[in-house]
C-alpha cells in the first residue's frame, strides 16, 4: 500500500507593524493613563525581559492597520517565498484572539484582503493556542488528501485594547495589577505558513510529525480574559437572571456601561497564572512517557513562554523531572519581537527557518501554553531537505 500523505510546512512569512518600540517608548505609543506614568511598568518589564516590540498604533493611539491587514501582509510574504501560485490555495485557516469585527470570522476578512478563492475557510478563536488549532486543522486536511495547498495565518492586534483611552473609560473601578499587567506584555504581529503534502523543491521545509492540543478548561477558572469585569463570577454556580445581568460585556444595558465597569479591559489572574508552567511541563512529560518525544532528540526547542520569568521556572521543573533541554537548544525571539499571542510560534518558526541554523533531519519541538483557561499545544517537526537534493 502507498504511504499516506504527510504534511509539510513549505513556506513561512511574518509581519510586524511599524518600527521596533523600546521599553522607554511604550507609553509614547499606548499613551499615559490619566497623565500619570505607570508605577508598575518597570516591574513587569523587568520580569518579562522584552526589550522591543511592535504596535499597529501611531503616537496618537490611532490604528495604523487592521488585523486583517497584518494577517494579509504575513500571508503575502509566505506566498512570495512559496513555489506555487496563490491561485492554487484551496484552504485558508486564520487564527486570532480577536478579529476586527465581532462577525463575520476573520478568515472571511483576510480572504477578501488577499483577493484569493473561492476556497474553503476556517477561523479559530482563542488565545495563544488558536494558531496551533488552525495549523492542525490544515495539516489534517492535507493528510486526508482533501486539500493540497493550505494557507494558515495567525495574527494579533492587541494594542487596540491597551491604549490609554480604554483604561480612562473604566470610571467605576481602580485599575489594579491584574487589569494593567497585560498592557506591558502584549504586542502586535502576524505569521503565516503554507502546508503541502510534500517538501518544497529547493530549500528546507518542516515536516509535521504530529500536533497535540489539550485543554484544561474544566479544571481551571478564567486566567486571561476580556469581556467581564469580574473573572471570579465565571467560577460560581450561576442560577438566577440577577446573577447573569452583568456577567458578560453584552449583558450591560449599553456598551458604555460595560466599558465604565471595566468589562472591556483585558485581564490576567496572576495567582492562577503560575500554574500554567506546571500544566505545560506535565503535558511534556506525558508525551515523553507515551514515547512521542525524547528530550535528547530535540535539536531546537521553540517554546512560546510569555515572560523570561517563566523560562527559569520551566528549566527548574524540567531539571527536576530529569528531562532538561539544554539552553543552547532553545530558540526564542520574545525579547526582540515581543509576545504576539497566537502568532508568536509562527513568527518564531519563520525566523528559525531563515536563520541558517537548521539542517535536514533535525528535530524541532514546539510548545505553546495558553493561559486563557489553560490549554497546551505541542508540535514535533523534522527539518526536510528540498526534493531536488533528496532525489540525488
- The grid cell for 95 is 487564527
Residue 349 scores a pLDDT above 70: yes
| CATH of range 7-196; options 1.10.10.10, 3.40.50.620, 3.40.47.10, 3.30.590.10 | 3.40.47.10
Residue 175 scores a pLDDT above 90: no
What value does the mean pLDDT take over residues 286-296?
95
Phi and psi for 358 in degrees, rounded to 5? -95, 145
Give, in degrees to the nearest 5, the angle at Cα 207 between 204 and 211: 140
Q: Cα separations (Å) of 97 from 40, 67, 150, 259?
A: 25, 10, 21, 19
Q: At 73, is the secondary structure helix, strand, or coil?
A: helix
pLDDT tens digits along 53-93: 999 999 999 999 999 999 999 999 999 999 999 999 999 99
Confidence of residue 101 (pLDDT cuts 50, 70, 90): very high
For residues 381 and 352, is the Cβ–Cβ distance under 8 A? no
Q: Cα separations (Å) of 32 from 19, 27, 39?
A: 20, 5, 11
pLDDT tens digits along 130-139: 999 999 999 9
What value does the mean pLDDT take over residues 165-171?
94
Residue 244 scores a pLDDT above 90: no
Residue 236 scores a pLDDT above 80: no
pLDDT at 241: 54
Distance CA(198)–CA(207), nearest Å, equals 8
pLDDT at 392: 47
Beta-bridge partners for 124: 95
Residue 3 scores a pLDDT above 80: no
Confidence of residue 1 (pLDDT cuts 50, 70, 90): low
pLDDT at 371: 92
pLDDT tens digits along 258-288: 999 999 999 999 999 989 989 999 999 999 9
Grid coordinates 510560534 are at which residue?
345
Phi and psi for 100 in degrees, rounded to 5? -75, -30
Residue 227: which of 186, 293, 166 has the closest Cα?
Answer: 166
Residue 143: which of 210, 212, 214, 204 has the closest Cα?
Answer: 210
Phi and psi for 38 in degrees, rounded to 5? -65, 140
Q: At 236, is the secondary structure helix, strand, or coil?
A: coil
pLDDT tens digits along 374-392: 999 999 999 999 999 755 4
Residue 47: which of 307, 250, 228 has the closest Cα?
Answer: 307
> Average pLDDT, whole number, for the chain?
93
Length of the chain: 392
Phi and psi for 349 in degrees, rounded to 5? -70, -30
- 277: left (phi > 0), else alpha (psi -120 to 50), else beta? alpha
**Domain limits of the chain?**
7-196, 228-263
Distance CA(220)–CA(131), nearest Å, equals 21
Grid coordinates 513556506 are at which residue?
11
Print the SS3 string covering 364-380. Answer: EEEEEEECCCCEEEEEE
pLDDT at 62: 97
Confidence of residue 242 (pLDDT cuts 50, 70, 90): low
pLDDT at 252: 94
pLDDT at 235: 77
Amino acid at each position: 500500500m502507498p504511504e499516506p500523505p504527510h504534511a509539510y510546512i513549505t513556506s513561512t512569512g511574518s509581519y510586524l507593524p511599524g518600527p521596533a518600540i523600546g521599553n522607554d517608548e511604550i507609553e509614547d505609543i499606548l499613551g499615559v493613563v490619566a497623565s500619570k506614568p505607570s508605577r508598575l511598568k518597570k516591574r513587569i518589564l523587568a520580569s518579562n525581559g522584552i526589550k522591543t516590540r511592535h504596535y499597529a498604533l501611531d503616537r496618537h493611539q490611532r490604528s495604523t492597520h487592521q488585523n486583517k491587514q497584518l494577517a494579509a501582509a504575513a500571508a503575502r510574504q509566505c506566498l512570495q517565498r512559496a513555489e506555487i501560485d496563490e491561485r492554487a490555495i484551496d484552504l485558508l485557516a486564520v487564527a486570532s484572539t480577536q478579529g476586527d469585527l465581532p462577525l463575520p470570522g476573520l478568515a472571511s476578512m483576510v480572504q477578501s484582503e488577499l483577493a484569493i478563492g473561492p476556497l474553503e475557510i476556517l477561523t479559530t478563536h482563542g488565545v495563544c493556542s488558536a494558531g496551533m488549532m488552525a495549523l492542525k486543522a490544515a495539516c489534517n486536511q492535507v493528510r486526508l488528501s482533501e486539500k493540497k495547498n493550505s494557507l494558515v495565518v495567525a495574527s494579533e492586534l492587541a494594542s487596540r485594547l491597551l491604549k490609554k483611552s480604554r483604561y480612562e473609560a473604566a470610571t467605576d473601578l481602580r485599575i489594579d495589577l491584574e487589569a494593567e499587567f497585560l498592557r506591558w506584555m502584549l504586542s502586535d504581529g502576524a505569521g503565516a505558513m503554507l502546508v503541502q503534502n510534500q517538501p518544497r523543491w529547493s530549500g528546507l521545509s518542516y515536516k509535521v510529525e504530529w500536533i497535540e492540543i489539550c485543554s484544561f478548561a474544566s479544571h481551571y477558572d478564567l486566567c486571561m480574559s476580556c469581556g467581564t469585569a469580574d473573572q471570579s463570577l465565571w467560577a460560581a454556580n450561576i442560577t438566577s437572571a440577577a446573577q447573569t445581568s452583568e456577567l458578560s460585556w453584552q449583558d450591560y444595558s449599553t456598551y458604555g456601561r460595560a466599558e465604565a465597569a471595566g468589562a472591556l479591559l483585558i485581564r490576567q489572574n496572576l495567582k492562577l497564572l503560575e500554574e500554567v508552567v506546571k500544566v505545560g511541563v506535565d503535558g511534556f512529560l506525558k508525551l515523553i512517557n507515551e514515547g512521542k518525544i525524547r528530550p535528547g532528540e530535540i535539536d531546537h526547542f521553540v517554546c512560546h513562554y510569555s515572560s523570561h520569568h517563566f523560562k527559569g521556572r520551566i528549566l527548574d521543573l524540567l531539571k527536576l523531572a530529569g528531562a532538561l533541554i539544554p539552553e543552547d537548544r532553545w530558540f526564542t525571539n520574545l525579547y526582540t519581537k515581543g509576545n504576539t499571542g497566537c502568532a508568536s510560534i509562527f513568527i518564531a518558526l519563520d525566523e528559525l527557518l531563515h536563520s541558517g541554523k537548521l539542517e535536514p533531519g533535525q528535530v524541532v519541538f514546539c510548545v505553546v501554553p495558553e493561559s486563557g483557561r489553560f490549554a497546551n499545544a505541542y508540535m514535533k517537526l523534522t527539518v526536510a531537505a528540498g526534493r531536488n537534493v533528496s532525489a540525488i
